[in-house]
Every structure is written in structure tokens, then in C-alpha cells.
Structure 1
Amino acid sequence: MKRLFATALSIVLLGTLLIACSSNGGNAGSGNTNTDKPANETETPAETTATTYPIKTDEKLSYWGEINGNLIGVKASHSEVPFFQDWQKKTGVSLEFTAPPTGQTQEALNVMLASGDLPDMIEYNFLGFPGGPEKAINDGYILKLNDLIDKYAPNLKKFLQENPDIDKMVKTDSGSYYAFPFIRGDEYLRVFQGPIIRKDWLDELGLSVPETIDEWTAALTAFKEKKGAAAPFSVVSKPRFFNESGNGAFLGAFGVNRGFYQEDGVIKFGPSESGFKEYLSLFRDWYQKGLIDKNVATADSKALDSSIASGATGATIGNAGGGIGKWQPLVEANNPEAVLVAAPYPVLKHGDMPKFGQKSMAYASEGTVAITTAAKNPELAVRMLDYGYSEEGRMFFNFGTEGVSYNLEDGYPKYTDLLMKNPDKLAPAQAISMYARASYNGPFIQDKRYAEQFFALQTQRDAVTTWQKTDANKYNLPPITPTPEESSEFATIMNDINTLVDEMTLKIILGSEPLDQFESYVAKMKSLNLDRAIAIQTAALERYNSR
């Protein structure tokens, strides 16, 4: 469930709910997948071929995708992971896996595409493909899946028919389905990041959990002066300063975020708005007063872990799982009374609703699986991938194999000690990744009951509730995409503008340039064709709304 800041090239992805067909198929129901007709027009669909699992076949398919970060150093390849072994058994389809080198997925994909030697299936975020998924189809790399889904994927087809808002997200502007999607099956799964603070310090100092910017300033000042915190507030700034600022933490109090957003139907770019100057002023002041880590410009995740564990830092931005779940035992090791809790997204006045906050949408394009034009038997690949959207497949992807990784207790799938108290000392996220796939994206529908157990601490579960209270739905952009023709132009413009914004942010906050240089940076953004980038985004949003 990890969340990363999206650049202007990756757009926030969104949706809700879960209904899946049983694994032994049946007709997927009525509805239209003919993209030549308007979305509200229906016709009698082609008969969907039911699939009974395991499929009886001797064919082997090839599958390309990176191995999840939770398993790096645990298993060397997909074929050694129990989940992938069992996935083949349950579907009846044997797979030959290839994984790109860690951290080199994009480079490896480019080499593979250039070679023309393609596998049957590719697990990859094709929204990040240059020109988008439509170009990947037009260039002859991956298949348009409309007819294949209509005929051979009754589970996915039924789910999309019954969830039109999600259906809108998982296809291109022209109506092409391009991959088997990852779906967050409940609102609870869409929020997992926000401000985190040392509650024991607040209690000791007689302070409440801060809600307003003024309360945050008071708390951080007290941490520095009365708790001896050398870096009261710190965040990860690799690859860019304050990665999570895109979700609107602190910036949102001034009405902006780090990227593009919509307001009253108009697309805006946060760093060019006046509110961004107010945010820079706040962080500049905090930095000068020693309330922000003096090394914040270069802090990576290891540095932040160390700073929180040692008590140098009392507040940050992080995830419920990889943040509170990771840091709580670290701070407890130094102080058994230490408690990390979530704080609301900051506002200027009590009673204000935070404008922004981390909120992913139901569809996430990472972990999705496309079928290539080289596939020897695309029908078989579709039937196999459709398993993840069946009732049986949903249970397997989220919880693994009954009696091994989970047991049913009054109908509730409860993870066994093999996962939650692993005898080989694997962390729960690692152990879950060994036997199921709920802790990271893939071709299936994620189940809320996974998170209820993964968040073992009450403070983690409370964090989700706290961070959910924002107006992010109103302002976040859906998964819009420039046309292939617009894509390279947009990428060139935003590469220059994002570099400029990074430079501006650091120089003003760290004090190497005065705050009144902000206007000159905005003028420079305009000269780099920011208005054209906004126009491209606006056109893409209009096309999305017309899907």
C-alpha cells in the first residue's frame, strides 16, 4: 500500500467498490463494450465463455514483471515465491517468469521492446508509457483487449459493468481496454498517508494534536526547545524535496498542492499560484528557526528512520503501514512510552476542511498486466488473468491459501501466524507478499479485510480515519492522459518546469534566495509554456469526462 508522489506526467488514479463473478463463470450479463457506440447505449453482448479453474492446458505462458520490493533479499525470483507457484496451480496455467533488474524496470522494458522479443504478458504501468497506453497499442506492443474481455473475461466484465466510474478509469479516451487492472475495493484502502507526530511528547508538553498551522508552529517549537529535538520536522527528500508534498500536506493549508489540480472546472498548477508562496514563506521561517531538519534537502528514507528512532525528529509525513508501523517499534526501543499518531492535514483556521490530502482512486495503474501482440494464445492469458476478479481469485490474491496463510473464522479470513508472526522473522508485509498479493498492486480487487489485519496497531487504523477527512475528491484529477501527439510536448514542458520548481523551492526555503523571487520564478514557468501544459491537461480532462 505504499504511496508515492506523482510527477506531472503521472496523474492521480481513482474509484470504488467490489463485486466479482464466481470463478466458475457463467454469462457476464448485459451491457455494451463496443467502443464505437456512446457509453449509455446498449446492445446484446457476445456470449461470454465461462471458465472453470483450473484450466486444463499443457501450454506455458511467459510473464515479465518486477519482483516486489518486499521480497528483494527474501526470494531471488517469482518462481520461488509460494504465491506465484500456487497461482499457476489454481488457474492451471504454467508461467515462465522474467524479472527486470531492481530499479531498472523502465530501462529493461525499453530494451525488450526494441528487441521485438516480447513475452505473452507484461506487468507494467502503461499510463507511464511515452504517449500512453493508446500509443503502446498503436505501436504494436500490446493488444487492445475489448473483444477478448467481452468473450473470455466474465468476472472482470461483470465488475466493470456494475462499476461504471471505475470502468471509465481503466480504458483510454477512445475506449480501449489495455490491461487487467488493480482495483482498490473499498474507500478505506484509498487513504494511507498523512502527518505523523509524537503524541507522548505532546502530552508531556500539555499540547493537543495540532490542526492549524499556528498549532504546528507551537508544537515544533516546543519539540526543539523543551525536548531537545535537533530536527523537529523532517521528511524524505529523495528524489525531490519533500516527496509527499504532492498530497497537499502543509501546502494544502494555503490552497495548493505540488502538481496539477482542478478547481471549479479549471485546471491549476500549484507552484504557480500565490498560495505556494505562502507555503514557501512558512517553511523558510521554520527552517531559519531550526524547526526543520537542517539536512532536509538531502534526507533519504534511512536518514529519516534514524532521526525518528533517535528522538531527533518528532513529526513527519508517512504511511500508516510503512510509517507508523515501521517507526513505532523504533521509538519504543528508546522510550517504551513513545507513541506515534496521525495528525489531520493542516488548515489555517479551526473548523476548515483540508482542501487536499493523500487519496488514491480505486484504479491504480501500477501492477496492471497487459497482453502483448506476441502472445501465442491471448485467449488463455485472458482466462488466466480473469481469475483475480472472481470470488475465489479475490480470496486467493488477498489472503493466499486457506489452511496455510489464512483460516476462516466466522466467515472472516484471518491471516495465520505464518504471516503475522513469521517464524523466519519476516515482517508482515514481507510474509504477506510471500503467500498473497494484497500488500502490493496486481491484477485483482484488493480487499479491505487485508488492511484491517495489516494495520495491527490501533494507531494505524485511527490514522486512516483521521487522514480521510479532506476534500481531495473535489480537487484531485482523475487518470487523464494526453494524446500520443501531446505526450512528448507535455513531457518536455514539464521536465523543465519541474526542474525549475525544485530549484525555486530549495533556494527560497533554505534561504539562498529571497522570498520575493517567487514572482520571477512564476514568470519563468510561463516562459517555459506552462499555459500550454495546462491546456493539454484541460483537453485531456474534457476527453476523460466524455468517456
Structure 2
Amino acid sequence: MMNKRGPARKHWIVLLCLTLLLGTAAACSSGSDAGGNSGIGGNGAGGSGGAGTNNGNGGNGGDDGQDSSAADEPLHIQMFAGLYNELPRMDNAYWTEWQERTNTVLDIEWVPSGDLDTKMDLVLASGDLPEVLSSPNMRPPLISAIKNGAFWDLTPLLGDFSDYPNLANNLAPNWEKYVSVDGKIYGLPRSRSRMDIGIKMRKDWLDQLGLPVPKTLDEYKDALKAIVEADPSGMGTFGLIGHGVIVDDGDDAFAGAFGALDPYFNEAGGYVPKELTPMYGDMVEWFRGLYSEGLLAQEFSVMKKTQAEELYKSGRAASYPRSIWWDKEYEDAISKTQADPEIVNLALEGPGGVSVNLATGVSGGYFISKKVPEAKVKQILDYLELTASEELTELAYYGLEGVHHEVIDGQKVLNDLGREEINTTSKGAGVLAYAKWGKVESASGSKEYNDAKKESVAHFDEVGKIEPKTGLNSDKWLTEWAKHSSEWQAMVTRAIVGQIPMEEYRAYVEELNELPAMQAAFDELAEEYEAFHAD
């Protein structure tokens, strides 16, 4: 069974006295949990409570005179997390099961993904933090808040992980580095597979036009042009769509094809982040070409994720960078209006590499507010440890058999309720165990479908690269980049849409690189990079 520990038992001394008078002291002193629900067991002051299980085998409570029934009380956790699907009902079948298994009541503020960064920045600036903040990445405002003491340093509480076997054994290697600041662990990871983002292309449209699947950036551009001109959707077909700086989820993937995912050092030995490298400028110029020919959505700079996704699901666009595991859902949505849609994910050769960006196995993390008392921090850690179990990970991906999925040819396949309740959002309240194919396999796809999908992208794990600045948290860089990041993003947009010549964009970047404060930041980043990769 899973290792489940939990909320501290309350000191009900009056009740104890009554219990002793009634002659039931022996039952209390044994500390055993009577039967009951799987979930987080109690921790008595005189000793640790073990895991309560469906079999009723309780832990060994302390001799502190606490009522063992307190172990059944659910742990209330207030959480801030991203919303990537429809707003879930926390009393639906999936969330009811999740909370019952973890013996928790989750009070989650679900924030739509398109507004997540803005809302998180406001929360961090206000200091009015939830008990647990879930962030999909280590953005500068979060790192600054950590350095300013807003969140617990978990290092001494986690110790050697002997009390946290799931965290020790079920996660990606070196996960601690990606949720640490200044060598201290401040978060527990949101586990995700290394293979995640795919540059999607409508293969059925390529087939209709007699075009091969693109293998290079040039072939990709030619394919986009052919599709846009042919307008197979009949509604004014878009080429490449996205959101964010350029196409957001795909920015780093495309950057890899230009060599911008290789570490870059200036003449003085300073580490220059990808945004300020010549290779990133080459990518901006390439996107400028796509835009000028009408192959990049004209609204790319203001498009929200929900809008881009809806365009793709409605069969209006040829290419869209998102997680590979969305393919089946997108195909199902498109098939309502277009026959036999097929999506493939591309690895495009460019002048500096391949357009595959790998994740670290850690997609941000869960951070506990310093306002939470230490006793409850330990309870929350126990909850997060439990969510890193194989059992709860299985629940997060597939729900309950007979309720959310059926087993067909050895493959768990989601039914209608499963497709409604099991999604990205359903994975947003726990660590989860690392799953190599977790962002590739579709929970609604057949075994044949998923086997073919895995085979088609297996090489991504070999040719892809991780963004090299990941895990580096230089104070000087964070401070200096905060002064320029908005202006830099605006300059990227202006260069792509043709408002300024590329020479002006490159001169602007060079001016940033020559700033003394920026060069000092590059030097500090270089020191961090060397230390981070020392082992």
C-alpha cells in the first residue's frame, strides 16, 4: 500500500479522561487506526502515526494521550494552480476519489492558463499567498519572492528523504536542482516527461497536396505556404499559430533549430541567455519571413492560448506547438467537421540544430508559504509525498476503472466521463511519479494509436536539448533582465511584423549585452552554470 502520513492529532485531554473512566485506555494507547479510509494518518507528539489503509492497518501512534479518531480528520489545503481545461467540480468522481485517497479537502483557486503569469505576479507582489502555490516554471518574480523569504526552505525538513520514499525514488534524476534557489530546496516538483512539446502539422493536408512530412525548416516553410494557399479548411486556413512571445510553447523548440539551445558565452567568458544571442536573432528574422508571407498568424503577439487551441481544434490551422499528448483530442475535435484528420509532430533540421526542446522532467513546482506553521508544512509535505506514488499517478492519468476508463487490449482508454474529468488540470494538485511517455500517450487513444505515437517521437529524447539556463537563478541577471524583458519582447514583435528593420533589433540586443550591469549578470550566470553542471 501507499505510504500515507498526515495531520497531527489534537490534544483532547478532556475526552481522554472520559475515555479512561470508561475503561478504553488500552485501545487509545495502542495508537492503531481502526479500519477506515486510505489517506494521511496522524502524527502524535509521542511518536509518528503510520499509514492508515483500506485494510485498516494503522500506524503506531504516540503515548501522548491523543484521540486516534483525529487521524481521520481530512487535511485542508489552500492552493493556487493553473487551469488548462474547463473549471472542474471538486465533488466530481475524480476529485472525490483523489481527496478521499489523500484524506484532504482541497480549496484550489484555479487560474486560467492564459492569465496564470499575470495573476501569479499579482499574488506574489501582494504577499497574500495561498498555503501552496503551484507554478509551471521558475519565473523571475517567483525566484525573487523565494529569495525575499516568502516560501519555506524545505531542505532541513526533507533531510535525507528517508521519510519520503516516493520523492526519493519516483522522480526525475536531480529534480531538486530545478526547484532550488541558492542551493536550497524550496519546492517539490510537478513531474512531467522530458518529451513534451511537439511542433504539430496536419499530415492529412500534406497528403492531400502530395507533400512529404517536412524534415527541415525550409521544407516546413514551403509546406505552410502550400497549405495556406490551398486553404483546405475552406475558412481561410492559418499556417503556424501560437501565443506568447512568438509561439510560446514552441519558442524554444524552434530556437533549437537555430542553435539557441546551446550554451553561449561572450568573449569575456560570461554566459549569455538565449534571448540575447545571435542565434535567437536568427530565429526572429526567420519568423519575420514567415509573417511577411502570411504563414505566421498575424495576431500571434496578442493571441491567447485558449484562442490558439480553439483555432486548431476547429481545423483552421496547419501547425501549432503544444504538448504531444493533445494530438488525439485535437484529432477528435477536428473530425467533427473534417474527415480523417491526422497530426504529426516535427523534428526540423535548421542551421544550428533540431527543433526539439526537451523538458527536465520537472515542470515548476509546489511552494509552501512561509506563513504556514511548521507543523502544517510537514503535513503538506506528507500529502505531496503521497501524490508522488505510482498509485496516485495512475489515478491522475486514467481515473477509476469502470468509471473513467475501460481496459481494452491491455490499454487503459478513457470513456466520455474520463475525457471530461481526466486532463491536464486533473494532474495539477500533486507531484506525480515521473512517466517517460506521460506527455506523449493519449489517455483516450487505443494501444495501437499510442504505440504508433511513441514510435514516431522516440527519437526526440535523443536529438532534443534542454534550455541551458534552466536552473540558474542569478540575482544580477534577474534584477537586470526585469528592467528590459518587456521592452525586449516588444522589440521582438516589432521586428517580426516589420515595424523595425532587423539591423535595429540586433543593434538593440547588442546594446543590452554591452551594459556593464548586464555583463556582470553574464559573469554571475557563468559561475552558476559551471557549478550547476559540475556533477
TM-score normalised to structure 2 length = 0.71
> Whole-Å Cα distance in 2 between the matches of residues 534 and 327 of structure 1?
41
Q: Does 1:273 align with 2:277?
A: yes
Check whether the contact 1:144–1:178 (CA below 8 A) recurs between aligned residues.
Answer: yes
- Whose RCO is larger (CA < 8 A, sep 6+)? 1
Q: Which whole-Å deviations, capped at 9, do the CAs of 1:140-193 have from their partners, x for residues lacking one?
A: 742534345558724246428x9763344454443x333333334xxxx22122
Summarize the alignment of residues 395-406 of structure 1 with structure 2, pairs less than 5 Å apart: 395-401=394-400, 404-405=403-404
Matched to 2:122, the amino acid is: E
Aligned in 2, Cα 1:444/1:278: closer, same or farther, shift over 3 Å? closer
Q: Which whole-Å deviations, capped at 9, do the CAs of 1:19-73 have from their partners, x for residues lacking one?
A: xx95379xxxxxxxxxxxxxxxxxxxxxx96832346515553312135525643
- Name the residue aligned to 1:521: 508
Of 513, 538, 545, the match for 2:526 = 538
- Name the residue aligned to 2:294: 290
> Whole-Å Cα distance in 2 between the matches of residues 496 and 301 of structure 1?
26
> Whole-Å Cα distance in 1 between the matches of residues 405 and 311 of structure 2?
36
Between Structure 1 and Structure 2, the one with more strand by share is: 2
- Name the residue aligned to 1:23: 3
Aligned in 2, Cα 1:441/1:217: closer, same or farther, shift over 3 Å? same
> Whole-Å Cα distance in 2 between the matches of residues 207 and 232 of structure 1?
17
**Which of these two proteins has the greater Rg computed from alpha carbons?**
2
Aligned in 2, Cα 1:50/1:447: closer, same or farther, shift over 3 Å? farther
> Whole-Å Cα distance in 1 between the matches of residues 303 and 79 of structure 2?
30
- Name the residue aligned to 1:325: 328
- Name the residue aligned to 1:465: 458
Matched to 2:100, the amino acid is: K
RMSD: 4.1
Aligned residues: 464
Offset, 1:448? 4.9
> Whole-Å Cα distance in 2 between the matches of residues 295 and 24 of structure 1?
49
Q: Which whole-Å deviations, capped at 9, do the CAs of 1:300-319 have from their partners, x for residues lacking one?
A: 34553565466653233233
Check whether the contact 1:455–1:461 (CA below 8 A) recurs between aligned residues.
Answer: no
> Whole-Å Cα distance in 1 between the matches of residues 201 and 506 of structure 2?
33
Aligned in 2, Cα 1:389/1:51: closer, same or farther, shift over 3 Å? farther
Offset, 1:209? 0.9
> Whole-Å Cα distance in 2 between the matches of residues 124 and 199 of structure 1?
34
Aligned in 2, Cα 1:231/1:53: closer, same or farther, shift over 3 Å? same
Summarize the alignment of residues 18-417 of structure 1 with structure 2, pairs less than 5 Å apart: 23=3, 51-54=50-53, 57-66=71-80, 68-70=82-84, 72-75=86-89, 78=90, 80-91=91-102, 93-95=103-105, 97=107, 99=109, 103=115, 104-108=119-123, 110-111=125-126, 113=128, 119=131, 123=134, 127-128=138-139, 130=141, 132=143, 136=146, 139=149, 141-150=151-160, 153-156=163-166, 158-159=168-169, 165-174=174-183, 176-184=184-192, 189-227=193-231, 230=236, 232-237=238-243, 239-249=244-254, 251-256=255-260, 261=263, 267-305=271-309, 307-308=311-312, 313-322=317-326, 324-348=327-351, 354=354, 357-367=356-366, 373-401=372-400, 404-405=403-404, 414-415=412-413
Offset, 1:396? 4.2
> Whole-Å Cα distance in 1 between the matches of residues 205 and 186 of structure 2?
50
Aligned in 2, Cα 1:460/1:320: closer, same or farther, shift over 3 Å? farther
Offset, 1:521? 1.3
Check whether the contact 1:50–1:152 (CA below 8 A) recurs between aligned residues.
Answer: no
Offset, 1:208? 0.9
- Name the residue aligned to 2:416: 421
Matched to 1:242, the amino acid is: V
Offset, 1:404? 4.1
Aligned in 2, Cα 1:141/1:505: closer, same or farther, shift over 3 Å? closer
What SS is found at the alignment partner of 2:348? coil
Matched-pair identity in %: 17
What SS is found at the alignment partner of 1:335? coil
- Name the residue aligned to 2:32: none
What SS is found at the alignment partner of 1:267? coil
- Name the residue aligned to 2:40: none
In the alignment, structure 1 segments of 5+ residues that lack a partner are: 1-20, 26-47
In the alignment, structure 2 segments of 5+ residues that lack a partner are: 6-46, 59-67
> Whole-Å Cα distance in 2 between the matches of residues 194 and 263 of structure 1?
28
> Whole-Å Cα distance in 1 between the matches of residues 99 and 104 of structure 2?
5
Offset, 1:408? 7.3
What SS is found at the alignment partner of 2:350? coil
Check whether the contact 1:500–1:521 (CA below 8 A) recurs between aligned residues.
Answer: no
Q: Does 1:454 align with 2:454?
A: no
What SS is found at the alignment partner of 2:505? helix
> Whole-Å Cα distance in 1 between the matches of residues 503 and 310 of structure 2?
35
Q: Does 1:504 align with 2:488?
A: no
Q: Does 1:479 align with 2:494?
A: no
> Whole-Å Cα distance in 1 between the matches of residues 76 and 185 of structure 2?
21
Check whether the contact 1:231–1:291 (CA below 8 A) recurs between aligned residues.
Answer: no
> Whole-Å Cα distance in 1 between the matches of residues 405 and 232 of structure 2?
45
Check whether the contact 2:77–2:105 (CA below 8 A) recurs between aligned residues.
Answer: yes
Q: Which whole-Å deviations, capped at 9, do the CAs of 1:267-298 have from their partners, x for residues lacking one?
A: 33334333334333333333333333333333
